[in-house]
Structure 1
């Protein structure tokens, strides 16, 4: 306290001791693109093991993903393109990207799409995915969307269960991805949806 009873400004050492939230979700910063790229590659290697050839997964390059995320964060284009990150303390452990849906049957004013939602494999089962999903839905609601959708691999029971336990449901849409354009690797996906206005 100063002699007038006014608290003194905090010193740098005091600031470093300031407690931070154990877990949080917020908008991503361009400087975090490298970490986002690393998490995406690690998550894809886990999610697509057994679906894609091992050499393809080994060749995934975090730096390439990071460059794309950096560009997207610096110039998001559509104002409702959002990238959120999940933090454990100060460590980035997951991210989610939400955008107006580009599905052929979508209304871009009303329908949002989760383009990516990934948690570092070392940080799964700690609630980060659920917190990000809730934040995505809240963000979509604030941005005026009336429906949020996500595509999941038809064989990924864990991811589908993650969404359905949060109240999401299939909407009947499905697609098949031809990963190489030569029919050699095809992945079937189903679309799930939720109403961001529902409590």
Structure 2
């Protein structure tokens, strides 16, 4: 688990393309699916890595024998102690090996180090394995949702908002860790 480097970007793009094809393959039209290419995702990440929108924005990767097998992107929300998991995933062929849990823990720890304890994530409601994974990790539905148009004919997919608050567990730790970056 580490911060992404520029040389990781092609691999991150490849993982994200596979994750999105897996997650959205039955929800979007073929021409949309065709846009989920490693190169397209890589280009977007390259821009955000070169000019991070904020100090809280981070891109972390999970590796297996030096190969990038998963990623998670973090950013701030509009509340002072709020952060968001913007995107993330583990390559479908590399799931079930703990990478997702390690990425999620690293994301929450990284945000906590920046005094961000309230973490939200928006995911497709129909992705039951992901909903279950996040619930086990301590995320609860906020009741917030958005219906996103994903097809040219107006077909939508519902995204639900989940959140967790790490400040309760953080308060039990030594208060010497309250340093600012």
User: Is the shorter-chain TM-score for this pair beyond 0.5, marking a shared fold?
Assistant: yes
- Structure index of larger Rg: 1
* 2:27/2:150 contact within 8 Å kept: no
- Give the one of 41, 56, 64 matched to 1:65: 41
In structure 2, runs of 5+ residues without a counterpart are 170-181
- Give the one of 83, 87, 105 matched to 1:134: 105
| Residue in 1 that maps onto 2:162 | 192
Quote the RMSD (CA, aligned, Å).
1.4
Pair 1:47-2:18 in alignment? no
The Cα of 1:65 is off from its aligned counterpart by 1.1
User: What SS is found at the alignment partner of 2:109?
Assistant: helix
The Cα of 1:96 is off from its aligned counterpart by 0.2
* 1:31/1:70 contact within 8 Å kept: no
- Give the one of 113, 123, 126 matched to 1:155: 126
- Give the one of 12, 33, 37 matched to 2:13: 37
The Cα of 1:183 is off from its aligned counterpart by 5.5
| Residue in 1 that maps onto 2:139 | 168
In structure 1, runs of 5+ residues without a counterpart are 1-24
- If each structure's helix is expressed as a fraction of its own residues, which one has the higher value? 2
Aligned residues: 169
Could you state the TM-score of these two structures normalised by the residue count of structure 2? 0.88
The Cα of 1:56 is off from its aligned counterpart by 2.3
The Cα of 1:179 is off from its aligned counterpart by 2.9
Counterparts of 1:162 and 1:44, CA distance in 2: 17
| Residue in 2 that maps onto 1:16 | none
- Give the one of 89, 92, 104 matched to 2:68: 92
User: What SS is found at the alignment partner of 1:43?
Assistant: helix
User: What SS is found at the alignment partner of 2:73?
Assistant: strand
Q: List structure 1 runs of 4+ shifted beyond 6 angstroms.
A: none
